[in-house]
A and B are shown apart, each in its own frame.
Chain A
Amino acid sequence: MPEIKVTPLGAGQDVGRSCILVSIGGKNIMLDCGMHMGFNDDRRFPDFSYITQNGRLTEFLDCVIISHFHLDHCGALPFMSEMVGYDGPIYMTHPTKAICPILLEDFRKITVDKKGETNFFTSQMIKDCMKKVVPLNLHQTVQVDDELEIKAYYAGHVLGAAMVHIKVGSESVVYTGDYNMTPDRHLGAAWIDKCRPDMLISESTYATTIRDSKRCRERDFLKKVHESIERGGKVLIPVFALGRAQELCILLETFWERMNLKAPIYFSTGLTEKANHYYKLFITWTNQKIRKTFVQRNMFEFKHIKPFDRSYADNPGPMVVFATPGMLHAGQSLQIFKKWAGNEKNMVIMPGYCVQGTIGHKILNGQRKLEMEGRATLDVKLQVEYMSFSAHADAKGIMQLIRMAEPRNMLLVHGEAAKMEFLKGKIEQEFSIDCYMPANGETTTVTTNPSVPVDISLNLLKREMALGGPLPDPKKPRAMHGTLIMKENSLKLVSSEQALKELGLNEHQLRFTCRVQLQDPHSDNDTLHRIYTHLKSVLKGYTIQHLPDGTVMVESIVIKVSSSAEDANTKVLLLSWIYESVYRSLRVWQPPTLDIFLR
């Protein structure tokens, strides 16, 4: 039985360093190759030694697919391709290909230049790695090799995020990456057709959450920002440069415009301008509304949002600052946070998920005293707010996707074990399909039951289809007989006659003849005719013919009459039939008819 095997190297019952190995139809595919924000040691990257203990990965992998540019999905890519060694194709969408190297370079700078780590990938390695990337367009069917094909679907999560459908023969797997089932201010909703994969591998970040309406969340967010500004506080919003940042910028920009607010909004790092430029050039990946109006008004040209300079942090008066990175684990957002943490008028709004081990995660859990490097402690007095703006599908969204794709099996990754357990139960109950949630390094195997594609001769198919009358009822199943020829790799289903002809075999006719004597004074012809009329009256529903050459045919059974040489009144009946007809009809009529003659 063919099998599909799935082994997460990362993101198994966990969020971070997504890396999932899939074996399908003899092909090995790596889905995502991310890093873990919560670790600074070896655990930061997936354990590639699982694939092979020594040497390069090229011969063990047919392709690598990156779902989107977030570092927990692509952060380990240069390490894997350049330091471990992989030269095969890496697939990602155009926006991902454009943005991914910038984030990787940023990540490298923080790790190497700031933290002083050695034995890390270099800028050149990022470039070399990106040379192996093959861009992927939405809905394009990419033939990786003769058997393996992949197709990308829109996932909504961030600019360029994609779900992939992987197909070998009639077996298939869908990997969702991160996705969002509700359209937001700048992206559309994820969509997939009813492709009925053997396995759907889905993220489950919000496995237990059913979020309230987005409008309420937005109103809440704006209210909090507004209140804080009103009382002269500073608002820090840690974000990743691309993704939620643009969503919240659009939100604040329209709010500022409507309320005619004057407090400055800043966006940290030089990446901003560039980031917004990507959104302008990849406008086809945003939602319908933005795409429709971009000629008149480009939503990514902000009037109220200005670039941030380090010195602004000490300016008096209210301000809103978007700063990277989003989990307060390093960089500018952390610096600003340290500066502002002591004042209870200030506020930090965490708009997304924070990985365990980061400062973001600690303050969200209510920790008010933080240990910093050099044994210093930091008192957190400012308000801490959490608003889920990360564009992940919630439980409702995940169920919706299952309904869309109709998978035969389900596998959850990219979530916390306890939450997955809950969702797993729900899925199994609602869809009665098996749902798996392997831990890292644990392999899930499902057997598939593919049907066998066969070439059927059109003659045979048409003949069988026509058996239902001149206009066969397409809903009605029909009986069919044929011969399957298995030659090398081809499977052909043809009629038996054609099979004989194609294989150069001759037909062998098996014929039986039997003599029956009876007394009848009439001439041979009259006897034959009497037999004919008699049979006709006895055998209803059979084709009975009296042929001019002096024979009677019942279906394909031939009956002849001759007079015996000794006695003209003794007639000899010759009954002759071939094997096939015996099979079909003689079984029915042989005993009674012979009796008819002997009577």
Chain B
Amino acid sequence: MKLYCLSGHPTLPCNVLKFKSTTIMLDCGLDTTSVLNFLPLPLVHSPRLSKLPGWVSKDGTLNLEKKELLDLSTIDVILISNYHCMMALPYITEHTGFTGTVYATEPTLQIGRLLMEELVNFMERVPKAQSATCWKNKEIQRMLPGPLKDAVEVWTWKRCYSMQEVNSALSKVQLVGYSQKVELFGAVQVSPLSSGYSLGSSNWIIQSHYEKVSYVSGSSLLTTHPQPMDQSSLKNSDVLILTGLTQMPTANPDGMLGEFCSNLAMTIRAGGNVLVPCYSSGVIYDLLECLYQFIESANLGTTPFYFISPVANSSLEFSQIFAEWLCHNKQSKVYLPEPPFPHAELIQTNKLKHYPSIHGDFSSEFRQPCVVFTGHPSLRFGDVVHFMELWGKSSLNTIIFTEPDFSYLDALAPYQPLAMKCVYCPIDTRLNFHQVSKLLKEVQPLHVVCPEQYTQPPLTQSHRSDLMLELQPPPMPYRRCSVLNLPFRRCYERVYILPELANSLVPSEIKPGVSLATVSAVLHSKDNKHTLQVSVLPPSKKRKRVMEEPPVVLAPKPLLSGAVPLDAFLATLQKHGITEVKVEETADGHILHLQAEDTLIQLEEDGTHIVCDNNEPLRTTLRDLVLRFLQKL
């Protein structure tokens, strides 16, 4: 069993597991941090941005986390754990000769589709005049300024996919429900478990009858909107692959939420606007729910909240229909029946309005001061770019970062100098190191595999030894492009004995509670399932190819076990008319001399030796007598 690690990004993993003749890709996250190297894509031409020195205005290219470590066309299935970890799917399913199946839950598929649609929309609505690729040449790249010069493997940066590719990729997705058991080629069973991080997010169990691998990716123990994490099913794993821990181990999500609300209220009261760059699904539901409770008490009842994204409406609508995937509280609301998320009420009362973009209705209905939720959190493309240009110059306004994926300082770099206030409240609900060590103590996996980043404290806080995994035995670290041999020894396989054969078996008790039976049968292996049946010659057909004949079962090659007790053996010999026996004691046993027959029998603990000249009947008799005292296997 081998694990190929194609991504070094611990929260956007991409691993390939080879297990019992199946090749399983676990997630395919898309690392978009490379867009920070590019200039923002403005919706309207911005003279300021295009005059910045030393930068080439280009649109986003994305860093695909893969390498030619293995042939991607050999992948049988892709298991998706949550919608953030499937953004590279079109790159894998569309251009590598991939012919397998992708498994994901329904919310993961639907929301993943929305996020991809949004990304494509952001890119396509600002078509660029020309695209440069020559700079990717190493010689040229070397002479480029700033961080670009040091960027690694820029040739793996790819252009964004098209909607057509997205649709084609997603048509390969097969929907699964939590705890559904999916058989892969009869050899392996995979099953998603609730991971508590986002709508439909899952951890995966990959198991055969005897081995179990757990894949934990992006899990949360906090009570937010999704169904709570299923921990008990992770028990008894041979290997647990651990990815997607919190990127903000020192930031408490609850505290951040409080800070978010108070900063928002402060800005609005002072007459400023609030900009929240965010993804269109996920934490935004919790932010809106928090604001729903907060609005009245903070006297923000008249402040308009805008959610601007090409998929804003869909995202809000979809969130309401996944009752099965929500936490218990929200489920019981659906039984009433009421919409599970309170943003339905915010929309109904016109406090929250959503628009596909800043064009159209929004421009006429837009009132300030207001709160705007919009993407993309990298501040490089999407409607957020426009608001940065619009509001950046006033110190009344505030930008509040809630997504932890991008460094906010890097994100702001091209907008400097900035008068706008910046508040950094990253909300990452994924497991922290404390929670994960408690979890691992609970589920007791034999081995843990994790990204190498988790085995040492973060670079900036090297003294914080609590910000790393400490386990016994120590976890097996991986980095990008490593190939790990997982410590596994497969010993058994499941075989089914058909009832006819089972009935014909004759068990004999060897020890109390332990019985043995010799099995001679015909083994059929089909679809990785093995059955044993009685060997019967099929009704003879006149013309039959040799190949089709089942093998004639040779008489079993028996093993003998036990010892021949002297006295009992002598008594038996006597019964068979062999009376003249001279017994001689030796170091290891006895030698019996059958004088009349001139035959020697050497009896020892672990063997019997019959020395008998050409007297076949006698030899057969003696053999049968000896065998009476031995067990045949």
Kindly state whether residue B531 has any CB partner on chain A within 8 Å. yes
Q: Tell me whether A473 and B547 are in contact in the complex, defined as CB-CB below 8 angstroms, given that A142-B179, A478-B523, A480-B521 are known contacts.
A: yes
Judging by beta carbons under 8 Å apart, are B558 and A505 in contact? no
CB distance from A524 to the nearest CB of B (A): 20
Known contacts A94-B323, A594-B614; 20 further A-B pairs (Cβ under 8 A): A98-B334, A277-B337, A281-B320, A281-B323, A295-B313, A450-B499, A452-B499, A453-B495, A455-B492, A456-B494, A456-B530, A458-B490, A475-B526, A480-B523, A482-B519, A483-B633, A496-B558, A506-B605, A513-B609, A514-B611
Judging by beta carbons under 8 Å apart, are B323 and A583 in contact? no
Kindly state whether residue B565 has any CB partner on chain A within 8 Å. no
Kindly state whether residue A439 has any CB partner on chain B within 8 Å. no
Judging by beta carbons under 8 Å apart, are B493 and A479 in contact? no
Contact with A along B289-328 (1 / 0, CB 8 A): 0000000000000000000000001100110111110000
Nearest-CB residue, chain A, relative to B626 = A510
- For window 478-527 of B, CB contacts with A under 8 Å fall at 490-499, 502, 505, 507, 510-511, 513-526
Kindly state whether residue B439 has any CB partner on chain A within 8 Å. no
Residues from chain B with a CB closer than 8 A to the CB of A515 are 611, 613
Residues from chain B with a CB closer than 8 A to the CB of A278 are 337
Residues from chain A with a CB closer than 8 A to the CB of B191 are 141
Q: Tell me whether A511 and B608 are in contact in the complex, defined as CB-CB below 8 angstroms, given that A451-B531, A483-B518 are known contacts.
A: yes
Judging by beta carbons under 8 Å apart, are A509 and B606 in contact? yes
Judging by beta carbons under 8 Å apart, are B516 and A486 in contact? yes
Kindly state whether residue A310 has any CB partner on chain B within 8 Å. no
Judging by beta carbons under 8 Å apart, are A138 and B337 in contact? no
C-alpha spacing A98/B492, complex, angstroms: 46
Contact with B along A271-287 (1 / 0, CB 8 A): 00010011011111000
- For window 494-538 of A, CB contacts with B under 8 Å fall at 496-497, 499-500, 503, 505-516
Judging by beta carbons under 8 Å apart, are A274 and B494 in contact? no
State which size class the interface on B falls in: 35 or more
- For the complex of A and B, list the 5 residue pairs with the smallest distance between their C-beta atoms, beginning with the closest: A509-B607, A496-B633, A451-B496, A456-B495, A496-B559
Segment of B28-36, B46-54, B375-383, B548-556 engaged in the interface with chain A? B548-556
Kindly state whether residue B331 has any CB partner on chain A within 8 Å. yes
Residue in B334, B505, B623 with the greatest tally of chain A CB atoms within 10 Å: B334
Interface of A is mostly: mixed
CB distance from A455 to the nearest CB of B (A): 4
Residues from chain B with a CB closer than 8 A to the CB of A484 are 505, 507, 516-519
- For window 416-439 of A, CB contacts with B under 8 Å fall at none
Kindly state whether residue B180 has any CB partner on chain A within 8 Å. yes
Q: Tell me whether A483 and B519 are in contact in the complex, defined as CB-CB below 8 angstroms, given that A461-B493, A509-B606 are known contacts.
A: yes
Kindly state whether residue B619 has any CB partner on chain A within 8 Å. yes
Q: Can you name 10 A-B residue pairings with CB atoms under 8 Å? A: A135-B324, A141-B181, A294-B321, A453-B496, A455-B494, A458-B491, A461-B493, A510-B610, A511-B607, A512-B609
CB distance from A109 to the nearest CB of B (A): 19
CB distance from B393 to the nearest CB of A (A): 37
C-alpha spacing A473/B511, complex, angstroms: 39
Judging by beta carbons under 8 Å apart, are A464 and B523 in contact? yes
Residues from chain B with a CB closer than 8 A to the CB of A499 are 516, 559, 633
Nearest-CB residue, chain B, relative to A472 = B525
C-alpha spacing A138/B175, complex, angstroms: 11
Residues from chain A with a CB closer than 8 A to the CB of B544 are none
Contact with A along B604-633 (1 / 0, CB 8 A): 011111111110000100010011001101
C-alpha spacing A456/B492, complex, angstroms: 5
State which size class the interface on A falls in: 35 or more
Interface of B is mostly: mixed
Contact with B along A89-123 (1 / 0, CB 8 A): 00000100110000000000000000000000000
- For window 536-592 of B, CB contacts with A under 8 Å fall at 547, 550-564
Kindly state whether residue A454 has any CB partner on chain B within 8 Å. yes
Q: Which of A97, A137, A478, A579 contacts B335 (CB 8 A)?
A: A97
Residues from chain A with a CB closer than 8 A to the CB of B515 are 485-487
Q: Tell me whether A505 and B614 are in contact in the complex, defined as CB-CB below 8 angstroms, given that A452-B497, A456-B530, A584-B557 are known contacts.
A: no
CB distance from B208 to the nearest CB of A (A): 11
CB distance from B413 to the nearest CB of A (A): 37
Kindly state whether residue B178 has any CB partner on chain A within 8 Å. yes
Judging by beta carbons under 8 Å apart, are B558 and A580 in contact? yes
A residues bordering B, Cβ < 8 Å?
94, 97-98, 135, 137-142, 151, 170, 274, 277-278, 280-284, 294-295, 449-458, 461, 464-465, 473-488, 492-493, 496-497, 499-500, 503, 505-516, 579-580, 583-584, 594
Residues from chain A with a CB closer than 8 A to the CB of B282 are none
Judging by beta carbons under 8 Å apart, are B560 and A508 in contact? yes
Judging by beta carbons under 8 Å apart, are B623 and A510 in contact? yes
Q: Tell me whether A513 and B611 are in contact in the complex, defined as CB-CB below 8 angstroms, given that A479-B554, A483-B516, A484-B516 are known contacts.
A: yes
Judging by beta carbons under 8 Å apart, are B531 and A503 in contact? no
Nearest-CB residue, chain B, relative to A462 = B493
Residues from chain A with a CB closer than 8 A to the CB of B394 are none
CB distance from A163 to the nearest CB of B (A): 15
CB distance from A474 to the nearest CB of B (A): 6
Judging by beta carbons under 8 Å apart, are B613 and A514 in contact? yes
Residues from chain B with a CB closer than 8 A to the CB of A497 are 559
Q: Tell me whether A510 and B560 are in contact in the complex, defined as CB-CB below 8 angstroms, given that A451-B496, A451-B498 are known contacts.
A: yes
Residue in A457, A474, A512 with the greatest tally of chain B CB atoms within 10 Å: A512
Kindly state whether residue B176 has any CB partner on chain A within 8 Å. yes
C-alpha spacing A456/B353, complex, angstroms: 63
Judging by beta carbons under 8 Å apart, are A453 and B513 in contact? no
Nearest-CB residue, chain B, relative to A597 = B614
CB distance from A204 to the nearest CB of B (A): 29
C-alpha spacing A479/B549, complex, angstroms: 12
C-alpha spacing A141/B191, complex, angstroms: 9
C-alpha spacing A483/B505, complex, angstroms: 10
Judging by beta carbons under 8 Å apart, are A509 and B560 in contact? yes
Kindly state whether residue B283 has any CB partner on chain A within 8 Å. no
Judging by beta carbons under 8 Å apart, are A457 and B492 in contact? yes
Q: Which of A139, A457, A493 contacts B180 (CB 8 A)?
A: A139
CB distance from A101 to the nearest CB of B (A): 8
C-alpha spacing A493/B524, complex, angstroms: 15
Nearest-CB residue, chain A, relative to B180 = A139
Residues from chain A with a CB closer than 8 A to the CB of B559 are 496-497, 499-500, 507, 580
CB distance from B336 to the nearest CB of A (A): 8
Contact with A along B152-182 (1 / 0, CB 8 A): 0000000000000000000000001111110
Nearest-CB residue, chain B, relative to A473 = B547
CB distance from B418 to the nearest CB of A (A): 37
